[in-house]
Structure 1
Amino acid sequence: MPLELEFSKTFDFTIKVQKTIGIPCCFEPYPDTLRAKLKANFGFITSFAILAYCVLGQLINVVLLLIGHRKTEEAMEEIAIQIVCTGFCITGLIKMYGLAYHRNLLTSIIDDFRVMWAEELLSSADRQICDKVLRPTMAIAAFAAIGNIIMVSAFNFLPVAEMIFNHWQTGKWHRLQPYVIWFPFDGTGGWWYYLVYTFEVYGGYVVAVSNVGTNCIFCLLCAHLTMQLKLLNRSLEDVIQPEEANKRRLVQRDAREMLPKLIRRHQSLLSCKETMDAVFSLTFFLNFAASTIIMCVQGFLMLIADFYVVTKIALFMGCCLVEIFFLCYYGDEVLENSTQLAQAVYNCRWYHQDAGDCKFSKNLIPIILRAQRPMKLMAWKFWPITINTFGMILNASWSYFTLLRTVVL
């Protein structure tokens, strides 16, 4: 028999992973003073600066390749790889900035869900709904975090295996780096090499955690919102209990008192949805747009690169697809359960009332009308975060890929 789930435990693993790059706990708002803010976010600022330089260094390297200042035998392949890596890093940078900029809003959403948790999860049936929704999401968040960290670690340390293999074949050591980042000095010479390699390894880890950490927070918040919608659906359906003592068609006093509370809870969930849009909307719009281009370029790389690069790119593409799918899946869960509110209200035995007392039924009409406009999380009012959008992103990536293949090859 699993232990009773606690609210703080639902975010526990994600918070621990984010803390490894200095992201403060999402339960805590910013301190009041600037000195306290800098002290609490010193690790975050350091990680952000490292990732920002990685982005700048990769962009400079792309420019040097395009103008012909840096010569390479496989210029097209390297430019494509740089676009993929730079896009992934820029996405991580945007997500880190979004978490920092909206820290207090994120804390307020979590506080709202904590209050609802304490008020609503009273019966064993409520706990069953909670476990059914949240435990799988917690497992998926842990799996996604570990999977992304493993994927980036493979990128970080594959050059070591490649150097050992090349030495075994040629008898010479040829120093390689995980990523091609511009530095104002020779990053492969002397003791600088080990510092640069460590810097790039940590930069890769930061971008993995920043990407997956933001995604996991969003999915967990969507799961909490979905759970509350399921509880609200059930409460609305059961707001009128069938009378046992007598068979008069009369709405019970408890139902009249309960309905305003359920309406306020629905309004609270709508407010949480709006706040989630404010925190994640622009971030995920840029994420979806970047992922469309990244997956297009990844497909192109699979056509022109050797087996070694294709293997790395296929692993990278798999992680991108899983990431976008889960974001869209949990957004779709919110949409689906909010759509069911209208049916739940209709099923609430509203017909158990006196013929002359229609006030209760009339109060249900605005709820039904509002529920017919479901909660739809948006990516900057451009893309609804639903399964249909996942299909649209894949279609767009395929279209760009076929165009690129036709023009270049």
Structure 2
Amino acid sequence: MVKVWIPFLDPEKHYIVANLYYSFMTTVLGIIEIALDCMILYPIVYFIFRINMLKYVLQNPEEFVEDKRMQSKEYKFHELMVKCISEHQSIIRTIQDFNNMMKHYLLFDFSLHALQISGVFFFIAKNMLNSNNFLNYVYALSLLIQLFILYWYGQKLLDENESISNAIYMSKWYCEDIKSQRLILLLMQRSQKPLGLMIGPIGIVQLEKFLMILKTVYTIFTVYSNM
């Protein structure tokens, strides 16, 4: 059992109050941590939604070309492609603005989770025969799942942006005029550049970085064990 400081009370004499206080503080900290993760997760879901909407338009342009008598089909398709490029650029700018605000926080979150998970596994390793270790295993597993969900959505954001080219390829782009095809090519080229949330100077939020955290945890755990 981890010792907790309780103001004005002796935990040895007031065991029930001490456990209630410990449970309350753990719940509060857990809620704060979940809220902070949601603060990052919700924007990622929003970006994925906007990219999926853009992909649907690119894959089914005939559904979004308005029937205007005074305009040719080529002109209407070209106008739609201009709007799609503008939307994609808007998504890119929004993600860049978000990165400028949150990249340092994501770097702090990356480092904190590595230290936190390694500390839990170190505590488990030092108390293998402790009957309370089951709760420590549950806590460690919850940290890994929580972290995996965040980085999985980061990977999905990368994949969705790269799959814009596939959505365009599945449309009848070859039936359009040369001018529109050049716009399509421009959009395809831009979608191949990685687009995601930045972890400071480390890189983009993706499953590769989740594995990097696990490697960092193993390194920190090894250092702790040799101390």
Q: Normalised by the shorter chain, which TM-score bucket?
A: 0.7 to 0.9
State the 1:263 CA deviation. 1.6
Q: Does 1:180 align with 2:20?
A: no
Paired with 1:205 and 1:232, the residues of 2 have a C-alpha distance of 40
**1:318 aligned residue:** 141
What is the percent sequence identity of the aligned residues? 17
Distance 1:352 1:251, change over 3 A: farther
Q: Which residue of 2 aligns with 1:292?
A: 114
Say whether the 8 Å CA contact 2:4–2:22 is kept in structure 1.
no
C-alpha separation between the residues in 2 aligned to 1:382 and 1:280? 13
Write the distance in 2 (CA, Å) between the matches of 1:311 and 1:348: 53
Q: Tell me how far 1:310 sits from its aligned partner.
A: 1.7
TM-score of the aligned structures, taking structure 2 as reference length: 0.81
Aligned to 2:159: 336
How large is the Cα RMSD of the aligned pairs?
2.8
Q: How far does the alpha carbon of each residue in 1:255-274 deviate from its partner, in whole angstroms, 9 at most, with x for none?
A: 12211221222122223322
Conservation of the 8 A alpha-carbon contact between 2:51 and 2:160: yes
Q: Distance in 1 between matches of 2:31 and 2:97?
A: 23
Q: CA deviation at 1:364?
A: 2.3
- 1:3-22 paired onto structure 2 within 5 Å: none
| SS of structure 1 residue aligned to 2:61 | coil
Q: How many residues align?
A: 217
Match of 2:27 among 189, 205, 215: 205
2:51 to 206, 219, 229: 229
Q: Which has the higher contact order (CA 8 A, sep 6+)?
A: 2
Matches within 5 A, 1:222-301: 222-239=44-61, 252-301=74-123
SS in 2 for 1:300: helix
What's the counterpart of residue 194 of structure 2?
374
TM-score by length of 1: 0.47
Post-superposition CA distance 1:309-352 (Å, at most 9, x none): 32221111011101110000011110100011133334442321
Which consecutive residues of structure 2, in runs of 5 or more, have no partner in the other structure?
Answer: 64-71
Instruction: Report the CA distance shift for 1:313/1:229 in structure 2 as closer, same or farther (over 3 A).
Output: same
Q: CA deviation at 1:211?
A: 0.7
Structure 1 residue ranges without an equivalent (≥5): 1-77, 82-178, 242-249
CA distance in 2, matches of 1:231, 1:365: 19
Shift of 1:210: 0.9
What code does the residue aligned with 1:369 have? Q
One-letter amino acid of the counterpart of residue 337, structure 1: E
> Any residues of structure 2 matched to 1:138-153 within 5 Å, and which?
none
Distance 2:120 2:159 in 1: 33
Partner Cα separation in structure 2 for residue 187 and residue 224 of structure 1: 49
- Residues 240 and 348 in structure 1, CA contact (< 8 A), matched pair in contact too: no
- Give CA-to-partner distance per residue, 1:77-112, whole Å, 9 cap, x none: x8xx6xxxxxxxxxxxxxxxxxxxxxxxxxxxxxxx
How far apart, in 1, do the equivalents of 2:155 and 2:126 lie? 36
- Counterpart of 2:124? 302
